[in-house]
Homo-oligomer: A and B are copies of this chain.
Amino acid sequence: MPEVFTLPALANFFAAGGSPVAVADAALARIAAWDDPALFLARVPPSTVRARAATLAAEGPQGRALFSVPFVLKDNIDAAGVPTTAACPDYAYTPAEDAPVVARLLAAGAVLLGKVNLDQFATGLNGTRSPHGAPRNPVLPDCVPGGSSSGSATAVAAGIAAFSLGTDTAGSGRVPAMLNNIVGLKPSLGLVPTQGVVPACRSLDVVSVFALTVADAGAVLEVMAGPASADRYSRAAPVGWRAVPAPQPAWQLAAPLPEQLVFDSPDDAALYDAALARAEALGGTVTRVDIAPFLAIARRLYDGAWVAERTAALRDLLTTKPEAIHPVTRGILEAGLDKRTIDAWDDFHAAAEARRLARALFARTDILLLPTAPGAPTLADLAAEPVAANSRLGTYTNFVNICDLSALAVPSGFRANGRPAGVTLVGPAFAEARLAGLGAALHAVAGVTLGATGAATPPPPVPPPLAPGELPLLAIG
Q: Which of B229, B340, B360, B477 contacts A340 (CB 8 A)?
A: B340
In the complex, what's the smallest C-beta–C-beta distance from A296 to chain B, in angstroms? 14
Cβ contact within 8 Å between A356 and B308: no
Task: Provide the bound-state CA to CA distance between A418 and B343, in Å.
Answer: 47
- The interface stretch among A5-13, A166-174, A258-266, A345-353 is A345-353
A55 contacts B by Cβ under 8 Å? no
Which residue of the partner chain B has the closest CB to A349?
B202
In the complex, what's the smallest C-beta–C-beta distance from A121 to chain B, in angstroms? 15
Cβ contact within 8 Å between A236 and B477: yes
Which residue of the partner chain B has the closest CB to A351?
B232
Q: In the assembled complex, which residues on chain B have CB atoms less than 8 Å from the CB atom of A343?
A: 312, 341
Q: In the assembled complex, which residues on chain B have CB atoms less than 8 Å from the CB atom of A341?
A: 305, 308-309, 312, 336, 339-341, 343-344
Q: Which of B236, B338, B345 contacts A312 (CB 8 A)?
A: B345
A30 contacts B by Cβ under 8 Å? no
Q: In the assembled complex, which residues on chain B have CB atoms less than 8 Å from the CB atom of A339?
A: 340-342
A355 contacts B by Cβ under 8 Å? yes
Q: In the assembled complex, which residues on chain B have CB atoms less than 8 Å from the CB atom of A312?
A: 341-343, 345-346
Task: Provide the bound-state CA to CA distance between A422 and B223, in Å.
Answer: 48
In the complex, what's the smallest C-beta–C-beta distance from A122 to chain B, in angstroms? 16
A233 contacts B by Cβ under 8 Å? yes
In the complex, what's the smallest C-beta–C-beta distance from A323 to chain B, in angstroms? 20
Task: Provide the bound-state CA to CA distance between A234 and B232, in Å.
Answer: 23
A43 contacts B by Cβ under 8 Å? no
A337 contacts B by Cβ under 8 Å? yes
Q: In the assembled complex, which residues on chain B have CB atoms less than 8 Å from the CB atom of A236?
A: 477
Cβ contact within 8 Å between A352 and B233: yes
Q: In the assembled complex, which residues on chain B have CB atoms less than 8 Å from the CB atom of A232?
A: 349, 352-353, 355-356
Per the 8 Å Cβ criterion, residues 187-211 of A in contact with B are: 202-203
Q: In the assembled complex, which residues on chain B have CB atoms less than 8 Å from the CB atom of A315?
A: 342
In the complex, what's the smallest C-beta–C-beta distance from A337 to chain B, in angstroms? 7
Q: Which of B231, B305, B336 contacts A356 (CB 8 A)?
A: B231
Q: Mark A292-320, 1 if CB is under 8 A from B, else 0.
A: 00000000000001001101110100000
Q: In the assembled complex, which residues on chain B have CB atoms less than 8 Å from the CB atom of A234?
A: 356
In the complex, what's the smallest C-beta–C-beta distance from A464 to chain B, in angstroms? 24
Q: Mark A391-402, 1 if CB is under 8 A from B, else 0.
A: 000000000000
Query: Could you say which of A234, A305, A342, A477 has the most chain B C-beta atoms within 10 Å of its C-beta?
Result: A342
Q: In the assembled complex, which residues on chain B have CB atoms less than 8 Å from the CB atom of A336?
A: 341-342
In the complex, what's the smallest C-beta–C-beta distance from A169 to chain B, in angstroms? 14
Q: In the assembled complex, which residues on chain B have CB atoms less than 8 Å from the CB atom of A345?
A: 202-203, 308-309, 312-313
Task: Provide the bound-state CA to CA distance between A309 and B346, in Å.
Answer: 9
In the complex, what's the smallest C-beta–C-beta distance from A110 to chain B, in angstroms? 27
Which residue of the partner chain B has the closest CB to A315?
B342
Contacts A229-B360, A236-B477, A360-B229; A203 near B352 (Cβ below 8 A) = yes
- Chain A to chain B contacts (Cβ below 8 Å), 10 pairs: A202-B349, A203-B349, A232-B349, A234-B356, A238-B477, A305-B344, A312-B341, A312-B343, A340-B340, A341-B344
Other A-B contacts than A232-B353, A340-B340, 11 sampled, CB-CB below 8 A, are A230-B356, A231-B356, A236-B477, A238-B477, A305-B344, A308-B344, A309-B345, A311-B342, A336-B341, A337-B340, A339-B340
